[in-house]
Structure 1
Amino acid sequence: MQAFARLPSTLFNLATLLVTAVLVTACAAPGQTRQDQRQHIDRTEQQVLTELFQLKPDLRNDLARAPGYAVFSNVNVNLLLASASTGYGVAVDNQTRQRTYMKMGELGLGLGFGVKDFRALFLFDSPEVMDRFVNRGWSFGGHADAAVKAQDKGAAISGEVVVDGMRVYQLTESGIALQATLKGTKFWKDPELN
């Protein structure tokens, strides 16, 4: 709290305003109607899966065998001492093909400046884990790191992080397999799209 006391109130107010604007505007999928928003999420899901299958072809079989999966798109903004992350996605039950549209969000403190756009795939190891994720919401209190590969540089892509019965694969906008950072992230059903 002492850091906030030393920060000029104008900068603090600006940071708060920008983080709030990101949270309010970015949490919903683009589109004018609910159907437009669902279609945008469905297209994002297919783009993420296609890209991941190109990077990791054996993932297609893993996804087919899993009880279900979820795909999310997220934007993280870090400005001065505050950061906010908002996104949207869909969870798909492989048994029933039921689609549950969801939101995600994160608030945090920490020095920095920048915007990070990433997409993530969650593969559920059991129907119970998927049910808990979809119906009770989910909060992550830590973060996990995966291997990194940027184009032809770096280590081989493992891209897999196991967290509480889920395997997480994360991509950046440029298709780089990156660390799966889930610290302080909350996932919940989108009441407007379900």
Structure 2
Amino acid sequence: MKNILFLTFLLVSLAIGGCASMGEGSVDDKRQILLDMEREVLSELYRTKPDTRAQLGTAPGYAVFSNANINLLFFAAGTGYGLVNDKVTGKTTYMNMAEGGVGLGFGVKDYRIVMVFHSADAINDFVTNGWTFGGNADASAKASGKGGSVEGEAYYGDVTVYTFTENGLALQAMVKGTKFWVDKELN
């Protein structure tokens, strides 16, 4: 059993290591990749949930992340990147993320997260501390814009979180923690 757990952990680590990489390029190139991702994700969010346009329009800030996640039996891991737009200060903070979880699941998915901050303190706390804990359950079968997934939205104090799957095939029920941190190279 220990060998199976070790092999599972090793496969998850190797798979995640390359899933959400920004790749090569200059700092400006990497920032542009994130800005393009932000534009595409917000367009998709507004298309699928039109009421969010007004919500983001009046919010003091928001974050957009791209994440790749893999689930193998009892463990899940993921990594990604994104940015936080503080509309009060006008500052954009580029960030990274990593997540790990336990539960039941199997599959791989590429998904997006949009966080709407409803206070300046929520933005500051997120950029400074960046931890989240929670659980999620979802089912996804989507590729090249075809297929479907079941996701929802969640509320954590002064933050509303929207998630949606870009591509992937996964069925999971997990308890997980996610760490977000400032990308020193891009800021």
SS at match of 2:89: coil
TM-score relative to the length of structure 1: 0.78
Q: Which has the higher contact order (CA 8 A, sep 6+)?
A: 2
Match of 1:190 in 2: 183
Shift of 1:56: 1.6
Segments of structure 1 that go 5 or more residues without pairing to the other structure are 1-5, 175-180
- Given residue 70 of structure 1, which amino acid in structure 2 is its aligned partner? A
SS at match of 1:143: strand
Structure 1 segment 99-118 matched on structure 2, within 5 A: 99-118=92-111
Please tell me whether residue 124 in structure 1 is matched to residue 82 in structure 2.
no
Please tell me whether residue 47 in structure 1 is matched to residue 15 in structure 2.
no
Shift of 1:182: 8.0
TM-score relative to the length of structure 2: 0.80
Aligned residue pairs, count: 178
Match of 2:166 in 1: 173
- Deviation per CA, 1:11-68: give whole Å up to 9, x if none: 3343222222234334542342222221111111100100111112221111111000
> What is the alpha-carbon root mean square deviation over aligned residues?
3.2
* CA gap 1:170/1:182 in 2 versus in 1, 3 angstroms: farther
Higher alpha-carbon Rg: 1
Identity across the alignment (%): 43
Shift of 1:111: 4.2
Match of 2:61 in 1: 68
Shift of 1:154: 10
Match of 1:141 in 2: 133
Please tell me whether residue 34 in structure 1 is matched to residue 21 in structure 2.
no
Segments of structure 2 that go 5 or more residues without pairing to the other structure are 168-173
* CA gap 1:154/1:189 in 2 versus in 1, 3 angstroms: closer
